[in-house]
């Protein structure tokens, strides 16, 4: 039981590190350090592999149809959450946050459409 709890925490930590390393890679690139940017990008991908392995070990990954259905629900929820977050950000005068909630909401909408299309393709094979 303790191992599973540690694995859950490790999954969360690895997942957070992916984002941090990607953001830091972008920052290094913006500051004109392409080799460091590339190195940090590769570290981010290592962390992504670690997180993915823990996700699988923890049973978070099912068959493809179930995975797609689960993530479709997640994308629908995330899209709504981003809309609400954008509203709150603009109300509080945080223009940068507002802009990014808006633009990333469009990404979620695109993810939703892509997952729906993949599910339809799977259905056609039945």
The correct pick among 21, 28, 85, 108 for binding Fe ion (CB under 5 A) is: 108
Instruction: Indicate whether 50 belongs to the interface with Fe ion (CB under 5 A).
Output: yes
Whole-angstrom Cα distance, residue 40 to residue 45?
Answer: 9
Minimum CB separation of residue 74 from Fe ion in Å reads 7
Which window, 47-55, 79-87, 97-105, 118-126, contacts Fe ion (CB under 5 A)?
47-55
Q: Is 69 in the site for Fe ion (CB under 5 A)?
A: no
Beta carbon of residue 79, minimum distance to Fe ion (angstroms, whole number): 8
Number of C-beta neighbours around residue 103 at 10 A = 11
Per the CB < 8 A criterion, the answer to whether 68 and 115 are in contact is yes
- Interacting stretch for Fe ion, rule CB under 5 A, among 10-18, 34-42, 79-87, 114-122? 10-18
Size of interface with Fe ion, in residues (CB under 5 A): 6
- Residue 100 vs residues 83, 85, 90, 107, 108: alpha-carbon distances, Å: 11, 10, 11, 11, 12
Which DSSP state fits 93?
T
Radius of gyration of the chain (CA): 18
- Binding segment (CB under 5 A) for Fe ion, from list 20-28, 32-40, 57-65, 75-83: 75-83
C-beta of 12 vs 92, nearer to Fe ion: 12
Which two tokens mark 1?
Answer: 């039981």
Residues near Fe ion, by CB under 5 A: 14, 47, 50, 75, 108, 111
């Amino acid at each position: 039981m303790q191992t599973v709890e540690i694995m859950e925490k490790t999954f969360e930590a690895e997942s957070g590190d992916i984002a941090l390393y990607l953001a830091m890679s972008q920052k290094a690139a913006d500051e004109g350090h392409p080799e460091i940017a590339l190195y940090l990008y590769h570290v981010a991908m290592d962390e992504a592999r670690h997180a993915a392995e823990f996700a699988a070990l923890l049973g978070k990954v099912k068959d493809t149809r179930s995975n797609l259905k689960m993530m479709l629900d997640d994308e629908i929820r995330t899209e709504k959450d981003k809309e609400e977050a954008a509203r709150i950000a603009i109300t509080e005068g945080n223009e940068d946050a507002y802009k990014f909630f808006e633009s990333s909401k469009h990404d979620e909408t695109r993810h939703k459409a892509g997952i729906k299309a993949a599910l339809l393709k799977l259905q056609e094979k039945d």
